[in-house]
Amino acid sequence: MKVLVPVKRVIDYNVKPRVKADGTGVDLANVKMSMNPFDEIAVEEALRLREKGAASEVIAVSIGPAKATETLRTALAMGADRAIHVQTDDAVEPLAVAKILKAIAEEEQPGLVILGKQAIDDDSNQTGQMLAALLGRPQGTFASKVEVAGDTVTVTREVDGGLETVTLQLPAIVTTDLRLNEPRYASLPNIMKAKSKPLAARTPADYGVDTTPRLKTLKVGEPPVRVAGIKVPDVDSLVAKIKELGIA
């Protein structure tokens, strides 16, 4: 069984984003970029399935600018077998991503598509669900445990009320949550091996997908500065302060 793992190049989670002076977006100049953390978890889970014998090949795919190849090389260094880079300089929205992934899935015929539940740059949490709808395949989102047995996959999902377990018929779509696993570090020998692993170059046009944005960003701004709190000596003072502020 093939496992397809989409990965996205985003601002490193340790970096504090800076908004451009004109408010048109986030400043990416000289900013450290890395693989989306949820996608790292997806790559790790795919590799573990291969190590258990449940998968035969792990294919990483990224949709983005030329530098997205660095993210794919990271996935290859972690252990993915080959990669596909769909190069575009457009700001690709979730629906366009899902359409491209649909075309790749129809071409590669993976038994499982594992992707992060969301990207930390836009927090859309849409691509996995859209892909499942376009392909007409069952989905298990927010996975904290994944078990493949025969032609089914059992997914333990993190939901508001606790945990939910669903069994899906393969082929299926799974999106990963933070508690699914702890991604491995790429060793130096694997980083060297990654340089010689296959990395196919494609464009959205190859899959017949128009990536022209449908949404227009009006303004990007910093979140409001949090106002400092105050201390009150007793409950009566607290109640009085709440009434004064008109909170209750």
- Quick: pLDDT tens for 80-105: 999 999 999 988 999 999 999 999 99
Q: How confident is the model at residue 60 (pLDDT cuts 50, 70, 90)?
A: very high
Domain tally, the chain: 1
pLDDT value, residue 116: 95
pLDDT value, residue 214: 87
- Rounded to whole angstroms, the Cα distance separating 243 from 248 reads 6
Apex CA 188: angle with CA 183 and CA 192, to 5°?
110
Three-class DSSP labels, 181-193: CCCCCCCHHHHHH
Does 216 have pLDDT greater than 90? no
Give the closest residue to 157 by CA, choosing from 144, 167, 176.
144
- Per the CB < 8 A criterion, the answer to whether 186 and 78 are in contact is yes
- Quick: pLDDT tens for 112-124: 999 999 999 889 9
Does 245 have pLDDT greater than 90? no
Higher pLDDT, 248 or 44: 44
Which residues in 120-155 are b (16+ Cβ under 10 Å) and which e? bbeeebbbbbbbbebbebbbbbbbebbebeeeebeb
Pairing of strands 199-202, 82-87: parallel
Segments in 79-160 forming alpha helices (H)? 94-108, 127-135
Mean pLDDT of 7-34: 89
Q: How confident is the model at residue 23 (pLDDT cuts 50, 70, 90)?
A: confident
φ/ψ of 110, rounded to 5, equals: -75, 150
- Quick: pLDDT tens for 165-209: 999 999 999 999 999 999 999 889 999 999 999 999 999 999 999
Mean pLDDT of 215-243: 88
CATH number of the domain within which 181 lies: 3.40.50.620
pLDDT value, residue 248: 63
Strand partners, 162: 159
Range of the domain at 79: 2-245
Q: How confident is the model at residue 28 (pLDDT cuts 50, 70, 90)?
A: confident
pLDDT value, residue 131: 97
φ/ψ of 49, rounded to 5, equals: -65, -40
Q: Which of 19-33, 144-158, 196-210 has the lowest mean pLDDT?
A: 19-33
Mean pLDDT of 142-149: 95
pTM: 0.86
Mean pLDDT of 36-60: 96
SS3 call for 128 = helix
- Rounded to whole angstroms, the Cα distance separating 26 from 16 reads 10
Mean pLDDT of 144-149: 95
- Per the CB < 8 A criterion, the answer to whether 8 and 36 are in contact is yes
